[in-house]
Structure 1
Amino acid sequence: MNDSSSLNNSQENPDLFWDISSITNKTKAIRFFQSVSSSFCVYSPTVEKIYSNFEVILPKDHNSNLIVLPNPFAFHDTFNRVNEEAIKSTGILLFPGEVFQKKGLIICLTQAKTKKIQHIELDSASIFLNRLYLRRFNTPFLPILLNGDLKEFKANSPYLHLHRFDPTAVTELSQFDIRSISNTITERFQTMIKKKTHKHTYI
């Protein structure tokens, strides 16, 4: 797929056009995002769609942007009519472990009572977050990405802010469709946990 067709798609849907001009170390950020993006779905509020099959395209001027380009032939991998209220911010961050002198990926979250920041290895964090969200919201933790979630920590390391899909807030879909979305998000996120490659260096 060439750059021109990619740009045409991004212009039709601006949510696919990720501006990284404010990130200092763009090479690290792009490499990190490329290494983990296949384990997530991406939501576009403009068109109310969740994409589970996409490429990360770098235009010629990728010093300022990247494009999340859905596969136009994978209709079954795109979920339509997902209202924006069903996508919620979490405050949960995903870092490459190197930031904390560790291997793999690290989840960072703030404790509700003490406001202390916890750093948890991905494997343990996945189990913990599922239990936490089931207890609090009666739904598993279903991480999803939006344009703007790729950020930078102290101009040194990239990280991702994780949004979540909330099945209880969906207004226009059947229970079958909601289960399909939830299962797809879970399956993709589990691939990150199962990958032996997640122990390697990301940045």
Structure 2
Amino acid sequence: MSSTSAAHVDACWRELQDQHDLAWDLDAITDRREAIAFLQRFESRLCVYSAYAATLYSSYSFVVPQSDHGGITILPDERCWSETFHDIPVHAVEPTGIHILPGETMGYPGLYLKIPSHNRLVASKELPFQDGLRLLIQRYRSRGESFLPVLIKEDLRGFEARMPSLHLHRIDPARLAHCSPSSIDAIKGAIARHLLELFRQD
């Protein structure tokens, strides 16, 4: 990655930490239609990983069946081949225990992140989305790591049958030893750019 590209990616992450304007007033989600509407707000905003294909997709569409039954499928955008990343092993993608929730489930507007404590005896924190994301970026950077959140394709099965929440996984760059540094930087850049689009969304 060129120094100009690296500077752009760093600028994206700095802007993510400085965002304060996310305010989605979601209606209380009580049925399948509303659950799917909640999910679609994240379409191509959070990268999706498929363990079966060992691939990370940054641009895709959710395909929802017309009937009230059937699972949600992912349709990758074949035009965005440069931001589709192959050969990502399963062991490089780990669960975080972090969930995105509609704030209405707790009596608040907007989106919230439920972040588990390092200490299992301490309750998790529920923070407004932008505050929680800044905390996570800082927490991982303090350990010399990157917080690269993704959704897992397999986790979307039956999504609409539960209380809507999205469990975030994370790509661990340290487990991508087979990838070149430029490829790892490209993955980091794609995740950062799409997260910025999420923040800028109305």
TM-score range, shorter chain: 0.7 to 0.9
TM-score normalised per structure 2: 0.77
Match of 1:104 among 101, 107, 110: 110
Letter in 2 for 1:55: S
- Alpha-carbon separation, structure 1, partners of 2:132 and 2:44: 19
2:78 partner SS: coil
Q: Deviations over 1:54-101 (max 9, x none)?
A: 011113335221111101232112111111111110000000111122
Counterpart in the other structure of 1:133? 140
Query: Is this contact kept in 1: 2:50–2:154, CA < 8 A?
Result: no
Cα distance, 1:93–1:56 mapped onto 2, change above 3 Å: same
Counterpart in the other structure of 2:96? 90
Q: Deviations over 1:3-61 (max 9, x none)?
A: xxxxxxxxxxxxxxxxxxxxx83222211110123210011111211101101111333
Counterpart in the other structure of 2:49? 43
Cα RMSD (Å) = 2.1
Query: Is this contact kept in 1: 2:40–2:62, CA < 8 A?
Result: yes
Which protein, 1 or 2, shows the higher relative CO under an 8 Å CA cutoff with sep ≥ 6?
2
Q: Does residue 77 of structure 1 match 2:77?
A: no
Match of 1:28 among 24, 31, 34: 34
Query: Is this contact kept in 2: 1:143–1:189, CA < 8 A?
Result: no
Cα distance, 1:124–1:133 mapped onto 2, change above 3 Å: same
Structure 2: segments with no counterpart, 5+ residues: 1-29
Residue 154 (structure 1) shift: 9.9
Q: Which moved more, 1:71-80 or 1:174-183?
A: 71-80
- Alpha-carbon separation, structure 2, partners of 1:26 and 1:71: 25
More strand by share: 1
- Alpha-carbon separation, structure 1, partners of 2:160 and 2:194: 25
Counterpart in the other structure of 2:177? 171
Counterpart in the other structure of 1:21? none
What's the % identity of the aligned pairs?
A: 27
Runs of 4+ in 1 over 4 A off after TM superposition: 150-155
- Alpha-carbon separation, structure 2, partners of 1:176 and 1:91: 29
Query: Is this contact kept in 1: 2:115–2:132, CA < 8 A?
Result: no
Residue 140 (structure 1) shift: 2.3
Query: Is this contact kept in 2: 1:95–1:160, CA < 8 A?
Result: yes
Letter in 2 for 1:159: S
- Alpha-carbon separation, structure 1, partners of 2:71 and 2:160: 18
